[in-house]
Amino acid sequence: MSGNDSTATMAREGSITFVGNLIKKGFGFLIIAVITRLVSPSVYGLFILATSIILFVQAFATLGLPKAIDYFVPQYLSDGEHDKARGVILVVFALVLATSAVVAGLIVLGAGTIAAAFDEPALGVALLVLSVTVPFLAVYNALLASFSAIKRLKFRVYMRDVIRPTVRLIATAALLLAGYGLLGVVGGYLIGLVVAIVAGVYFLRENAPRIVGAETTRVPSRPLLWYSVPLAFASIIYIFLGQIDYFVVGYFYGSEEVGIYRVGYALAANLMIFSSSLGPIFKPLIAETKADRAAVRTRYRTATRWIAGLTLPVALVVAFGASAYLSVVFTPQYTVATAAVVILAVGITISAACGGPDGGLLQGLGYSRLVFLNTAVLLVINVGVSVLLVPRIGITGAAIGTASALTVNGLLAVAEGHRFHDVHPLTRDLGKILLAAVPAAIGASAVVLAVDSPYVVAFALPAVVFTLYVGTLHLTNAFTAEDGEIAAQISPALRRAIALSRR
C-alpha cells in the first residue's frame, strides 16, 4: 500500500471510527445520566465493581488471542492467502470460547468470596449474573478484531457504537423504571452485549465473502499464542490499571465513592476518543509494512500529530470546565470529582500526544513482549501511587495514580519507538500544535474566572477554546499539505478550510 493510499485509508477508516466513538460516548453519557438519576451512587458503584472484576478476569479467558486476528490476518490478506486468514479467525474463536467458559465457571464458584472481601453482599448477585457475559465478551472482542483486520471498520462501529449502546440504554431504562435496581443495570448491560454479537456475526458473514467462502487452511495455534499470550498478560495488567482505581477506592471507602469516581473518569475518558478512533486501523497498517521503516515513520508521525491536535482543545475544555460539566450533565453531588477529572485529563493528554494511537506502534511491529513489560511497569506505578494516596486524599489519589501511569506510558512509547525502530513523533509540525494550546488555555481560564453560572461556562468554554486554538494554528501556518490530503478523506469543507489557511 502506497503512502497516499495508507493516509487515505487511515483518514477514512479513522473518521468512521471517530463518528462511532462520538455516538458511543453520547449513549454512554445518556446511560450514566439515566442510572445516576434512577439509582443511588452506591448501587451504581456496585455495578462498576462487578463489571471491573468481570473485565479483569475476561482478559485471562481470551489469552489475548483476539489481538492475533488483527496482526496475522492483514498479513495473510496482503499475500492473497484468504484460506489462512479464515483459519486464524476460526482457531481464535474456538480457543476463546473454550477458555472463557472455564473462567465463567470459576467466577460462579468465587462470587461469594469476592463479595465478602469487599463487604458488599449484593456484589455476589451481580457477579453471578455477569459471569454469563465472559464467553460473550470473548466472542465480541474477536468480532471487533476481525473487522479491524479486514479494514471494514464501519461494521465495527455499527456493532460496538450503535447497536450495543442503543439496546443497552433502552433495556436499562425499562428495567430500572420497572423497579429492578441493581439487577436492572446488570440486565441492560447483558442484553446490549448479546444483541450486538448477533448483529456482528451477521455483518461478518455478509461482508467478508472471500474469507467466509474460502477453504480453511489449518493454522498452527502456537504462533498465534506466541504472539498473543504476552499481549494477554499486557491486557490483564492494562485492564487492571483501568480497574485498580475502583478496587482501591471500593476497598478503602465504599461503593458510593466508586460511583462518584466512575462518573469523573467517564468525563475525562472522552479525551481518548481520537486515539481509540485511529487505533483499530493504525495497527494493521503498521503490521503490513513493518519492514519499511520510512513508511512506519510517516504513518506514526501523521497519526500522532493528528491525535495530539484534536485532543488538546478538548482536553482544555474538559479540564477547565470539569465542575460545570459534572454539575450540568449529572448532578451537583458529583462535582466532588472535579480535581480527579483535571488530573486524569492531564495524564490522558500526555499519553495521547506522545504515544500515538492506542499503543498500536509496538504491537504492529511485533514487539508483544515489550508491550507486556511496559504494562507491568505501569501497573507498579499505578498500584503503588493509588494505595499510597487513596487512604489519604480519596478519589483524587486514584486519579494521580492513573495519570502518573499514563504519563509514563506516553514517554515509554516515544523512547522505545526511537530505540528499537528509529521512529519518533517529535517534529516541528507537532511543536506548532502544542504551542497553539497556550493562548487557548489562557482564554479558558478567563472564562472560568469571569463566569459563575455552570450552564454559561458549559456553552461558552468550547467556543472560546476552539476559536483561539484554531486561530493560533492559522497564524503559525501549522497546517501542512498532508493535512489537506487527510482532510479530503473526512470532509471537502474541511479540506477547503485548511487550504485557505495555508495561503
Report which of 354, 371, 367, 358 is spatially closest to residue 301, judged by C-alpha positions: 354
Helices (H), 365-480: 368-393, 395-421, 428-435, 437-450, 454-475
DSSP 8-class letter at 270: G
**How far is the C-alpha of 346 from the C-alpha of 24, rounded, in Å?**
23
Distance of CA 311 to the CA centre of its chain: 14
With beta carbons less than 8 A apart as the criterion, state whether 87 and 217 touch.
yes
| pLDDT on residue 68 | 76
First to last CA, the chain: 31
Which segments in the chain show pLDDT lower than 70?
1-18, 20-21, 209, 213, 220-221, 223, 225-243, 276-292, 295, 353-368, 478-503
Phi-psi domain of 51 (left: phi exceeds 0; alpha: psi -120 through 50; beta: other)? alpha
Query: What residues contact 430, with CB distance under 8 A and at least 6 apart?
Result: 301, 304, 305, 308
| pLDDT on residue 239 | 64
With beta carbons less than 8 A apart as the criterion, state whether 405 and 384 touch.
no
DSSP 8-class letter at 346: H
C-alpha cell, 125: 448477585
**How far is the C-alpha of 335 from the C-alpha of 274, rounded, in Å?**
26
* Per-residue b or e along 11-50, where b marks 16 or more CB atoms closer than 10 Å to that residue's CB: bbbbbbbbbbbebbbebbbbbbebbbebbebbbbbbbbbb
For cell 464467553, name the residue: 135
Phi-psi domain of 114 (left: phi exceeds 0; alpha: psi -120 through 50; beta: other)? alpha
pTM of the predicted model, to two decimals?
Answer: 0.64
Report which of 420, 131, 94 is spatially closest to residue 225, judged by C-alpha positions: 94
291-294, Cβ contacts within 8 angstroms, sequence gap of 24 or more: 293/421, 293/422, 293/423
For cell 489475548, name the residue: 64
| pLDDT on residue 444 | 93
| pLDDT on residue 7 | 54
- pLDDT of 134-181, one tens digit each? 889 888 988 888 887 777 778 888 888 889 989 999 999 999 888 888
Ranges of each domain in the chain: 44-130+206-426, 428-503
**How far is the C-alpha of 282 from the C-alpha of 277, rounded, in Å?**
9
Q: How many CB atoms lie within 10 A of CB 203?
A: 20
**How far is the C-alpha of 249 from the C-alpha of 41, rounded, in Å?**
13
- pLDDT of 275-295, one tens digit each? 766 665 666 666 666 666 776
Q: Which helix (H) or strand (E) holds 61?
A: helix 41-62
Distance of CA 423 to the CA centre of its chain: 24
**How far is the C-alpha of 341 from the C-alpha of 318, rounded, in Å?**
8
| pLDDT on residue 280 | 58
Query: What residues contact 83, with CB distance under 8 A and at least 6 apart?
Result: 214, 215, 216, 217
C-alpha cell, 226: 506466541
| pLDDT on residue 256 | 76
DSSP 8-class letter at 214: S
| pLDDT on residue 6 | 54
